[in-house]
Amino acid sequence: MAFPPQLALATKNPGKVREILRICAGWPVRWLVYEDDDPRWPDVEETGGTYLANALLKARRVAEALGAPALADDSGIEVDALGGAPGPRSARFAGERASDEDNLRLLIERIRGVPAERRTARYRCVAACAWPAGPQSWSEGACEGLLVPEPRGTGGFGYDPIFVPVAQDGGAGRTMAELAPGEKDRISHRGSALRALGEALSGEPVSGRG
């Protein structure tokens, strides 16, 4: 396995595009990124029951549509007090057409009565790369944290305003949305998964390689 000359990002989410390009800035590839109304990028329904299934589904569909290797990730938040929900359905927690704000508002409602010490949660991410009708590789990352009932911060996206990572290098108590981009990338689930995938693509053995 090796880095391809060009690599498509199998997402239309601008927040994900920014983070992935930032985390993978050192990858020796030319990036193909979705632009408004580009008909080449398919709308992929995430029908898989796991992060891996959804990540591979998106990567394969975009790779086939563009005729180029594609990178996708699927991620979610797992709340222990909710039995691990919403998990792979994090982007659709409040419904199939829910916005980030809708999902965040619903999760806040669900945890508001949970004692602070029981609001443990983790972000999990699987990053996958697929070639058109060819090989595939993937890696997983996670970030443990605690949830707060009041959103804080303007950075990041998704559930970041209420997720306080426990692996911070100082500044304990800040949410993901309050961290500088570089701070977030060093400890985030997406940063961990993509760095491991980069190692896999560079030819170094890594856990989770497919």
Residue 118, token pair as written in the block:
């029981």
73 part of a folded domain: yes
- pLDDT recorded at residue 208: 39
- CATH code where residue 102 lies: 3.90.950.10
Residue 83, token pair as written in the block:
């039995």
Q: Are 185 and 23 in contact (CB under 8 A)?
A: yes
> Is the pLDDT at 172 greater than 90, yes or no?
no
70 part of a folded domain: yes
41 part of a folded domain: yes
**Catalytic residue, candidates 74, 100, 160, 185:** 74
Q: Are 103 and 158 in contact (CB under 8 A)?
A: yes
1 part of a folded domain: no
- pLDDT recorded at residue 55: 96
> Is the pLDDT at 207 greater than 60, yes or no?
no
To the query of whether residue 74 is one of the catalytic residues in this protein, the response is: yes
Give 168's pLDDT tier (boundaries 50, 70, 90). low
| pTM of this structure | 0.89
51 part of a folded domain: yes
206 part of a folded domain: no
* Domain boundaries, position 49: 6-201
**What are the distances in angstroms from CA 188 to CA 6, 46, 52?**
25, 22, 18
Residue with tokens 């980069």: 198
